[in-house]
Structure 1
Amino acid sequence: MHQVMIVDDEPLIREGLRTIIDWEEHGFQVATVAADALEALRKLSEAVPRLMIVDIRMPGMDGLQLLRTVREQCRPCPKFLILSGHADFEYARTALQLKVDGYLLKPIDEDDLIQHLERIRQSLQEERTEATGRWGREHAIQRLVSGEAEGMPEQADPGWLTYEIVLVRPLERGEPDASAVSRIKRRMIESFETANEGIVFSAEPYLGVMLKETMNRPSAASKVYRRISEACEEREFDATAGGTVAMLSDAGRSFERARELMKRRFLFAGGGIVTAEPELPSIPADEDSCSAPELEEKLYLALDAANAELAAEALRGLGALWLAAGASEQELKTGFTTRLSATLSKLAQSRPEAREFVQSLNSELASISSETRYELLLARLISICAKVADRLRIAGAGPDLQVQKMIELIHRNSADNLKLEALAEALGYSSSYLGKLFKSATGDYFNTYLDKVRIQKAKEMLCKGMKVYQVAEQVGYANVDYFHAKFRKYVGESPVAYRKNAAQSR
């Protein structure tokens, strides 16, 4: 029995329709009634009607508004019979434009109602038959692509000359919208199956199309992409094709190829159906021997020196390294977020004048996980770095300013593995030129100046009673013996003796 809902604000009409005919004799059953549109919507999910008989004029939401709302919310959508009086011509015209399934004038004529019911029952039966056949084909294809081709019914083979599987994944910036995916699938069925150009099937988490024609010609590929795009209703999506096969039994190979390509979807540029592995970003020639920690240090120094371009290079280098190692989408996002977050924290500590601004970028950094394309992710990261560089940039230029920048960088980062070459790159000068400039301005070579800064900080820590090995590590000397030698060279006594003498003089 097909369930019926009657919606009318007049109790006599509601009850009269219940008893005017023998509903079950015509294949229907009145499941529920509603006094207005809002009550009807509340009862909709429980009653699941296949036919709604709706008064066109009701207080609040009228019958046509209810019709539109139900069509947006319900799949499958029920059939509609509209009730109206003689004075409702404009309503009736709108109802016809909305393609309702029947129009009844009050008072209701019994024979007229029965004719409508017979026609609607026939239509529902045809839809059920078609849906059952479609489900059978879809189920057969799902078994085929999963490697269960044995025992497939003959009617599942459309008898085409070629077959090719295309997989589609609508992209979301949050949790997948199941209702949107369902709508997209229905639109794809309408587009491909009505034109007899393919059979649509579900292959979680993707939608699939088994195509009748090969996409070897650009025009064919463009047509398929356009059909998918229209079905996706302006929603961004990825699509991959597994290549043409000559026999239905080989469609599983096309499916597997499309699925393998889909695993790299994060690297796709979008705008077309992908038929080959995406080209990985290349590692710059001057960074092909760099490790991830070296590139992280380069990123930090670039930002501390307000060099946005160099920071972007470091980010691209890190991404290329991780991709070459086979990093997944989630591993890339986690890697970038973790590294840049650590860099921002370090900057916030060393640059108190910009601490609040740098820390404010953490929320923007956290949001990059929603990006659906690698290039867009990288662009967001580079944008964050550019904002940091803009805030930290010292106005002006010239040799004296560069030396001042070097001195500031050394004092802020003396515990790190600083190298003249890295600082020169961050500041945009050659290391030989900047080294001479630094020696001329300070009287010391770069390494000597760095040692003096470290030893001065070591003296301050020793005066606080810290252990020698702790001091060595915190000022940037991994080898304690080497620290001893450097300390004695610049202070004239051992770290232990200096700490003892400092304690006695207090």
Structure 2
Amino acid sequence: MIRVLLVDDEPLVLIGMQSMLDWNALGYELVGTARNGAEALERIGEQQPDVVVSDIRMPVLDGLQLASRSREQYGALPVFIMLTSYEEFDYVRRSMGLGAVDYLVKIDLTPENLTAALDRARTAVEKERALRAPAQAAPGGLESYRDRFFIQLYSGLFPTDGEIRARAGELGLTLDAPAYAVAIADIHNRELTPDQQVTLSTGVTRMAADILSKYLPCHVTGMDLRHFSVLLPLQSRDGLEHRLTPVLQKVNAILYKYFSIHLWWAVGAPTSVPHHIAKSQKSAFSALPLLSEADPILFCRSDDVTPMDHRARTVAKVQDYIRKNPDKRLSLNDVAAVFNFSPGYLSQLFSQNGQTSFVEFVTETRISAAKELMASTDLKIYEISERLGFESAFYFSKVFKKIEGVSPRAYLQKLRGGPGAREDSADVD
């Protein structure tokens, strides 16, 4: 049975999901519910669910913070299915980070799409269980265990160098180089079906590993369908850029010839301490949004301004653009295109470097713009809704009330000094 935890701050949503499916008949066991992210994190530790179905916007910890902390504390399991009430959801759903396998719009939640999302989550859980199975259970099991070791290493789950070396020795690996750096490859290709992307990603990762191993010692580990990590044992921390750049360029040329794809590379800051390898990988991951077609290879240095500083400045620029253009198309895809980022990276930029997620920031910015229009114009509520790109006046009113605590009509009447009036369900003019 696949164990499932349901998390939402709205009791009716929890009740609705519990009654929506015959969970046991479908092979799922509901192990509990939680009303906020902090409570959910406790439940994960207590109940050890395989899947968490969680709202994105919640008190104490939101869904993205919950997923991030769960991954830090418990690794790849549980996987997450995210629920949202916000617009632009088709784009947010594409995010592969933080252990999320799918996203669902609350208002459109049905037994069919919830079941489909759970099926995808089951596949991810079974894959992870296979990685954790004993190595001798199947051919290639040792390699799977090694992959799992590197994933744990990059997640910072080994507190000491001695523990790292002991675990590596059990797997026939030697980590005794004077220094290490982690490179992350970002696979850029045309949109493919999920099955096609799996095939492409597998082929690219394997061929990259074969090519790299001819030039230098390395360990290649797949991260998701568009990224893989390369651990590079180094004899010296000096001259890494000079030695590695031509090798990465060679890999790129060969892979483009065979697969018609481009690889962008971020190389983390070198370290002499094995349990700091996670920091090298993290610095590489942080630098990915700084890559471009013109500059597809970037090296982080310990004496540089950290990529996180770059990322914080980038988030500030994107936020400024959104504030100045609340009436423009502000989907994740549209804004990412303005800044020449992928939607997934832009989403991660916000979740890791901003106070809110991208969708929340856009929504809150539009609500702020709506309040300014209410104060400075005679526009009706539905006209403000249309001007600011909300899908309907009803939806605008619902979001406005969730953020401000009152409906647009009540806010407008208070603003203009009028008497309070009964709020209807749609709250539109």
Name the TM-score, length of structure 1 as normaliser. 0.31
- Larger RCO, structure (CA 8 Å, separation 6 or more): 2
Q: Which structure shows the higher helix fraction?
A: 1
> What TM-score does the superposition give when structure 2 sets the normalisation length?
0.35
